[in-house]
């Protein structure tokens, strides 16, 4: 149990700034949703690192300069990504696909994709996630095999995340 608690604490470090106060709002089947109070205001997130391969996937929403912005964070503890690296990822949820541009972060094991375009489209993407059965993350042009994740049971986590996103 202590190891699980330490693993969950490590995950929160990935998805929120160090100065944030974090509170879980839902957890199902290895996926969790949270709200964090940061120096810039509230931030909502959901995702998982519940796999033995050291991979993690997080979706977060935060208010920046008065507007909501959506981000996807994808990582693998074995990666060594340059901070200035750029590229694209494709996230397929059942038959729907979203293509996102990413950049390296200050963490070598993570990339972050900022959702460009209308924020409502980002929420539509998240709602597709809630209804989806299977997700695949593809890395076109990179030497990274596609990832696959079971989305069954994520509806409650996603609904909690969306309710949080609508409040901030």
CB of 20 within 8 A of CB of 36? yes
pTM for the model stands at 0.80
Rounded Cα–Cα distance for residues 129 and 117 (Å): 18
62 lies in which domain range?
Answer: 2-167
Between 13 and 54, where is the model more confident?
A: 54
SS (H, E, C) 58-71: EEEEEEECCEEEEE
The reported pLDDT for the residue numbered 102 is 94
Indicate the number of domains in the chain: 1
Q: How is residue 142 annotated by DSSP? A: S
From 163, 99, 149, select the one nearest 125 (Cα to Cα).
99
Mean pLDDT of 81-103: 92
The reported pLDDT for the residue numbered 9 is 37
Contacts of residue 160, Cβ cutoff 8 Å, sequence gap at least 6: 25, 26, 33, 46
The reported pLDDT for the residue numbered 51 is 73
Q: Is the pLDDT of residue 14 over 60?
A: no
Kindly report the CATH number assigned to the domain that includes residue 131: 2.60.40.1880
The reported pLDDT for the residue numbered 147 is 93
Q: Is the pLDDT of residue 30 over 50?
A: yes
Mean pLDDT of 6-17: 43
Alpha helices in 16-142 (DSSP H): 119-131
Q: Which two tokens stand for residue 106?
A: 């200050």
Contacts of residue 139, Cβ cutoff 8 Å, sequence gap at least 6: 87, 89, 90, 146
Q: Is the pLDDT of residue 3 over 50?
A: no
Q: Is the pLDDT of residue 69 over 80?
A: yes
């Amino acid at each position: 149990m202590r190891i699980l608690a330490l693993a969950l604490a490590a995950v929160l470090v990935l998805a929120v700034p160090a100065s944030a106060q974090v509170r879980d709002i839902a957890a199902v089947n290895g996926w969790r949703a949270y709200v964090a109070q940061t120096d810039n205001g509230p931030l909502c997130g959901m995702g998982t690192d519940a796999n033995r391969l050291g991979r993690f996937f997080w979706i977060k929403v935060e208010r920046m300069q008065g507007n909501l912005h959506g981000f996807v964070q994808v990582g693998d503890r074995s990666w060594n990504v340059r901070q200035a690296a750029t590229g694209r990822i494709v996230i397929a949820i059942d038959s729907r696909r979203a293509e996102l541009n990413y950049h390296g972060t200050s963490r070598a094991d993570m990339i972050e994709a900022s959702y460009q375009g209308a924020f409502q489209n980002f929420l539509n993407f998240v709602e597709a996630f809630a209804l989806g059965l299977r997700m695949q993350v593809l890395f076109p042009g990179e030497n990274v095999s596609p990832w696959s994740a079971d989305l069954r049971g994520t509806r409650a986590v996603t609904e909690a995340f969306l309710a949080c996103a609508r409040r901030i």
